[in-house]
Amino acid sequence: MDLGNVVEVIGTGIEIAGVFVIVAGMLVATLLAAAALMKRKEREIYDTYRRRLGRSILLGLEFLVAGDIIRTVAVTPTFYSVGVLAIIILIRTFLSFSLELEITGQWPWQKSSFDKHTMKKSPPPSTFL
């Protein structure tokens, strides 16, 4: 087995891990939402469910991009394959930004008042006059 085949297998493995992360995140988010519904905690279940789904998709997309980069650049670095990779990365980056906006209500480069532990917006800091 030469280096090209090893890199191809590693890239494919990372992409499979990305798919697994997305599927596992969706299952966990669905089970947690179902458990919250059973406990009659109907407040904000939908928003929390969407945030959890979005986070799992974002993490999975990161794995998928990493796998694409490894497979394309390390195995077949032709102008065509790098161009296709660039288009794929642009599309996935747009999806990541869109999901981040959906989850937090802010663009990734904006200072966040989003509390990642409770998945709710923190109150604005108080100012002293």
**Mean pLDDT within 60-70:** 88
Say how far apart CA 113 and CA 19 lie, in whole Å.
Answer: 30
Cα–Cα distance for residue pair 86/102, rounded to 1 Å = 24
Higher-confidence position of 101 and 17: 17
- pLDDT of res. 118: 53
Greater confidence (119 vs 37) lies with 37
Lowest mean pLDDT among 69-78, 86-95, 119-128: 119-128
Domain extent listing, the chain: 3-121
Q: Which amino acid is at 57?
A: I
Please give the model's pTM, rounded to 2 decimal places: 0.71
Q: Assess whether pLDDT exceeds 50 at residue 127.
A: no
